[in-house]
A and B are shown apart, each in its own frame.
Chain A
Amino acid sequence: MKQLGVLFQKEWRENLRNYKIFWIPAVFILFGIMEPVTNYFLPQILDSVGNLPDGAVIEIPPPEPAQILAAVLGQYQLIGMLVLILAYMGTIAGERKSGTATLLYVRPLSFTSYFLSKWMIAGLIAIISVWSGLLAAYYYTFLLFEQVDFVKFIQFAATYSVWILLVVSIVLAASAALPNPGFAAAVALAVVFLAQLGDGLLGAYWTVSPVKIPNYAAQWLVDGPVRADFWWALGIALLLIAMAVTFGVWMSRKNAADTKV
């Protein structure tokens, strides 16, 4: 327990020094603000770049505020995932490759604390980023359009946090299991995006799947998802997170010997 605290402080300092604690939330906030703003200015944007004949009239119904927040999620599903996976691909694999890890591995190290400290800081930064980005989007949607019920918003953001934690766990497990950061990122990206693709193509045949969690999150903004499906998916996601963490701890212990000096 004491070791976990020490390692957590080390990770915290590292993330402070490589500015991850600043730039990852900044990216999420930026994309959170851009979505409502582009929606607000859409008529003007179409006017100036649309190359329409004079006198053409486009009537765009004002978008529903819930739709805008869902669109922000769509951005996060692509750019957010990419940023998180690329930022954390080297967490363990990179440390082993550069040799920094030897400084840790020569000490009587609990690999559980080692992996958990990294998982905690990556999860913390990911959740801070998502919440600050979504809150920015919420505030801008409120200013430019209408207010979304705050309770619904909390349910929406909390549901999405579970998905983000799952993604972070997958990246860290890949980083622990594979020899270099690029490989880890490729595998994590493949897992996350293929799962989404598979669910998108065949997902109509099943109603419970952890990949549907972002969809459930967006549904909370309207009437909420089917409760039983939602809780099952959430349970499976939590189980998968626990499995990824266990696998990561096991692999980081097993691969410790591969460290280059």
Chain B
Amino acid sequence: MAMEEMDLLWLLLPIVLIQLALMIFALVDLVKNPNPNGPKWMWALIIVLINIIGPIVYFVVGRRNY
């Protein structure tokens, strides 16, 4: 199936959008979180710098789900 380059870019767009959304959700949650599991600046760096895994790690480990 031959694809134009523009079409391929549109295909990749959702990946970028979901990553951004995860990052934003994690950052908003971090800002509102009064008691994260570790220093806030460290979590901010983890969320922004590590693709995909960063926000997940924050949600699982950083936000004390209990």
Contact = CB atoms under 8 A, between A and B. Distances in A.
Nearest to B65: A90
A27 B65 CA distance: 17
A18 interface: yes
A23 B65 contact: no
A29 interface: yes
Contacts of A90: 65-66
B21 A26 contact: yes
Interface in B1-56: 1, 3, 11-12, 14-15, 18-19, 21-22, 25-26, 29, 52, 55-56
A87 B64 CA distance: 10
Nearest to B61: A86
Interface string A129-156: 0000000100010011100000000000
A34 B66 contact: no
Given A93-B66, A94-B65, A23 B12 contact: no
Interface in A74-112: 83, 86-87, 89-90, 93-95, 97-98, 100
B20 to A, nearest CB: 10
Given A30-B52, A86-B60, A145-B1, A19 B18 contact: no
Contacts of B61: 86
Query: Which bucket holds chain B's interface residue count?
Result: 20 to 34
Given A83-B60, A144-B1, A23 B66 contact: no
A27 B66 CA distance: 21
Contact of A83 (B29, B56, B66): B56
B59 to A, nearest CB: 6
Nearest to A83: B56
Interface in A136-180: 136, 140, 143-145
Contact of B59 (A23, A34, A89): A23
A94 B64 CA distance: 9
Nearest to A140: B11
Interface of A: 18-20, 22-23, 26-27, 29-30, 33-34, 37, 83, 86-87, 89-90, 93-95, 97-98, 100, 136, 140, 143-145, 181
Interface of B: 1, 3, 11-12, 14-15, 18-19, 21-22, 25-26, 29, 52, 55-56, 59-61, 63, 65-66
